Amino acid sequence: MAWDSTRMVPWRRLVREWLIYAAIMTAVVLLFMRDRPVVGIIGGLLASGPLYLGLGFVLAKFGYSRKTWGELRSQRPQAAANTDSEPGPRPRPAPTKRTGGGTRPTQPRRRR
Mean pLDDT of 91-101: 79
Does pLDDT of 76 surpass 80?
A: no
Predicted TM-score (pTM) of the model is 0.61
Mean per-residue pLDDT over the chain, rounded: 84
In 3D space, the residue among 7, 9, 2 whose CA is nearest the CA of residue 56 turns out to be: 9
Where are the domains positioned within the chain? 1-68
pLDDT tens column, 80-94: 555 556 677 888 888
Share of the chain above pLDDT 90, in %: 46
Distance CA 74, CA 15 (A): 24
Confidence of residue 79 (pLDDT cuts 50, 70, 90): very low
| Residue 6 parent element (H or E) | none
